[in-house]
Every structure is written in C-alpha cells, then in structure tokens.
Amino acid sequence: MASALAKMPAKVNPVCIHPMFGPGIKSLKGQNVISVPIRDAKKELAVAKSLFPGARFITSDAAEHDRRIAVILGLTHLVNVVFAKVISRDEKSGLTDKMSGNTFRIQKTLAESILTESPELIETVIANPEIRRVAEEFWKDMGRLLTSIQDSKTEEITEYVRETQERLGQQSDIAESYKRLTRMAKAAEK
C-alpha cells in the first residue's frame, strides 16, 4: 500500500493511516492511529492529526506496520474466528453459557464482536502475508501443548506455563490484567 502511494503524482499528497478502532467508539481521545510516512512524515502526520483530534499517533514504516498488525489483528482475528467456529458447534450452548465464568464470557464476547465485521474484512486481516510466521509459531506451540497433554507430561505443561508467565511478566503486569478482566466482566454485566 505505502509503495503504491509513493508512486502517486507529485501534486497529490498521500496520507497513509491505520485507525486502530472501529465505528463503535464514542470518542477519539486516546485511540491509536498508526501513521505510515510516504513522502513527508511531518506534513502527513499533521494532516492525520487534523482528521483524528485527540487520538494517539504512532509512526511506523510499512514493513514494521505489517509485522505488528499480523500479531495485533491477524492473530487475534484468526484465533477468535476459530474459537467462534468451535463454540458454534456446541449443541448445548445455553448450558455452556450458564456454566461459564468471566474468562469464557469475555473470550466469547470478543469472538462474537470480531464476527460483526464483514467476512471480506476478516479475510483481509488474516491474509496479511506476515501472519504466516506468527500463525506457524502459534500452531507449533499449540501442537507442543497438545502433545504434552496427550502424553500426560504434566511437568512440560507446567514449565511451558511458568516460562510464559515469566516472559509476559517482564512485559506487563499480569496480576493487574486479571483485575482488569474482572472489571471488564462487571462492566459487561450492566
């Protein structure tokens, strides 16, 4: 996309932006917009800021944008579409919903909300060429865990979880994430 915009006639001033929110937001304040410079990063960012007042802007080159979006949108859409397909086959979904807790309810809500998007948009998101690397990593880890489960290798499973907790814990406060999940569930009940 960015390379095509760079080929536009000189009299055209392209702006390449990726709003990271959907039409349901109430305010632009604090919402992320990615700006991908084409010719004049400073001018293009100024135009983008005029279109999205109050938003938070992140500047990224096209290649980095696509790599990050493969994780941010591609992986989440892929995982949630498959999750939704699996739970859509549940012949006792009412009972499942009655028995569920916060984790399932929020995951289901996320999957359902993704499915409000058009199939064409979802296809575009998961067809990002960069997703192959991310999806292969996901399936490799999924296969590793499933094999450990099938082989009753409890130590391998717990070590995998511990290692993940430690790595993610270096990047974010996972205890705070649980509190946030609880607040989200309470807010969704209203």
| Mean pLDDT within 128-143 | 94
With 0-12 / 13-18 / 19 or more C-beta atoms within 10 angstroms meaning exposed / middle / buried, residue 47 is middle
Q: For residue range 91-109, what is the model confidence (pLDDT) as tens digits?
A: 999 999 999 999 999 999 9
Tell me the two tokens of residue 92: 């006792």
Q: For residue range 150-180, what is the model confidence (pLDDT) as tens digits?
A: 999 999 999 999 999 999 999 999 999 999 9
Count each helix (H run) and each strand (E run) in the chain, helices first: 10, 3
Q: For residue range 78-94, what is the model confidence (pLDDT) as tens digits?
A: 999 999 999 999 999 99
Residue 5: predicted pLDDT: 67
Of the pLDDT bands very low, low, confident and very high (cuts 50, 70, 90), residue 8 is: confident
Residue 38: predicted pLDDT: 94
Q: Check if the beta carbon of residue 59 is closer than 8 Å to that of residue 33.
A: no
Q: Give the angle subtended at the CA of 77 by the CAs of 23 and 2, to the nearest 5°.
A: 70
136 has a pLDDT exceeding 70: yes
190 has a pLDDT exceeding 90: no
Q: For residue range 61-80, what is the model confidence (pLDDT) as tens digits?
A: 999 999 999 999 999 999 99
In whole angstroms, give the CA distance from residue 101 to residue 111.
16
